Structure 1
Amino acid sequence: MNLRPWFRASVFVAASLLAAGQGAAFADQFVLFDETFTFTKEDADNSKPSKSHYYVTGTKINQDRPKDWTAPVDYRNGTVHIRAEVIEKPAGGAPTTWTLCYIPNKGRGNGYGCTGTQIYTEKGVYEKDVRMTEFWENGSIVWTEGIKQMDLVIKDDSGGRGHAHKRADHEKFFPTKMRITMVQVSAGSTYDPSLVPNLPGKDDAPKPAEEAKPSARAAVKDEACASCDAGR
């Protein structure tokens, strides 16, 4: 299920009225990508140029994403809402995460920056909001030049080089089926799920099992994006 209708335009919403005669202030959000895919051990071993990578390129990424993420709408200082729906996952409860890397048209220093999903152990929907100024190497991206693709990397919970294809027990990670959605929200605005097409309703969305919630240790690691350090 690769959903494309939302590619055509960003969603502009009146956020608040200013003083009389000053007009309206506008909030903005857009879906950077909404990708449903199955990922096997064979896919991980053969993805190029890097293993364990799923590449969001071409028509998979919003063709109408802004060239400049700083103006006229400021996404660079906003947030990203990450929705990870784990549709299929092997038994065993192996802690798993996806590093989500912004690959810019122009970089500096490291040349790219990464955030990530929550660490999960079971099927379900995991959502989080991340400040665009707080994830790993976000300053290595020249935001005025835009993003050309997203690299999604499946890992365990051990850190930056914990690529799932390297695991001796890789059968606990593959095959998996995911729906990952990233929604960019402008500075000063709040994510609004009602503006994202084709999301299941509150009563329909699968929820993570209670025991599947990340441990306190895993949660701290995730918030610091430890899974992003030491490269993709």
Structure 2
Amino acid sequence: MILIMQIRSLFISLFLFCLGATITRAEQFVLFDVTFTFTQEDALNSKPSQSHYYVRGDMLNAARPKDWTAPVDYRNGTVHVRLEVLEKPAGDQPTTWSVCYIPHKGQNHGYGCIGTGVYKTTGVHEKDLDMTRFWQNDDIIWSQGIKEMHLVLKDDHNLHAHKRPDPEKFFPTKVRMTLIQVSKGSKYDPKQVTELSAAKQK
């Protein structure tokens, strides 16, 4: 009888441990993972806005939540931005990308943008950002979900790259950008990012 009770106690302990591990495992998903070359011609001819690269349709994760507030709260979580700069003109020109969330339904300006941060060289650049602190994040009705994303190439003074007098310092460039959305109370876990979709090539 004592042995049975010990086995039962051990089973319960293992069950609770596994349950706890499941609960504490970060809730996160890849919003998009794109690889593309961006030329000055691309920037000048992108529509409706110049210097924009549009992430739409099957370039976005089809399994992304329709409601970012419930049952899992991504709206008040964080986003992990991974920017891999594969090619860039010589000269170490300070460069950045604005990454804009375009919702199915917005208010006021109707969209909001994060930034990758300024970089000068090729390589991988990563950062975590609070979803409640970026520019115009309150202009998005998060319960209605995200329709598309706009990636905007700029200099370190927020000027669109195509408007610069020296565009040859920005174009052409080739990057891979990946956004991972992490739920409120969780921490980005790179070990979970094992099912990234194949990068879309342009």
In the superposition, the TM-score normalised over structure 1's length comes to 0.74
Corresponding residue number in structure 1 for 2:185: 188
- In 2: Cα distance, 1:112 partner to 1:15 partner: 40
- 1:42 CA drift (Å): 0.3
Larger Rg: 2
- Is the contact made by 1:15 and 1:25 (CA closer than 8 Å) also made in structure 2? no
> Identity of paired residues, percent?
64
1:91-130 equivalences under 5 Å are 91-130=90-129
- 1:110 CA drift (Å): 1.1
- Is the contact made by 2:26 and 2:189 (CA closer than 8 Å) also made in structure 1? no
Corresponding residue number in structure 2 for 1:63: 62
- Is the contact made by 2:26 and 2:188 (CA closer than 8 Å) also made in structure 1? no
Corresponding residue number in structure 1 for 2:172: 175
In the superposition, the TM-score normalised over structure 2's length comes to 0.85
Corresponding residue number in structure 1 for 2:135: 136
1:1-232 equivalences under 5 Å are 17=20, 24=23, 27-159=26-158, 162-197=159-194
Q: Which runs of structure 1 show a deviation greater than 6 angstroms over 4 or more consecutive aligned residues?
A: none
- 1:15 CA drift (Å): 9.6
Evaluate the alpha carbon distance shift between residue 15 and residue 117 of structure 1 in structure 2; reply closer, same or farther with a 3 A threshold.
farther
- In 2: Cα distance, 1:126 partner to 1:49 partner: 28
- Is the contact made by 1:15 and 1:26 (CA closer than 8 Å) also made in structure 2? no
- In 1: Cα distance, 2:128 partner to 2:109 partner: 24
Gap runs ≥5 in structure 1: 1-13, 200-232
In the comparison of the two structures, how many residue pairs are matched?
180
Q: Which amino acid aligns with 1:69?
A: W
Gap runs ≥5 in structure 2: 1-16, 197-202
More helix as a share of residues? 2
- 1:133 CA drift (Å): 0.2
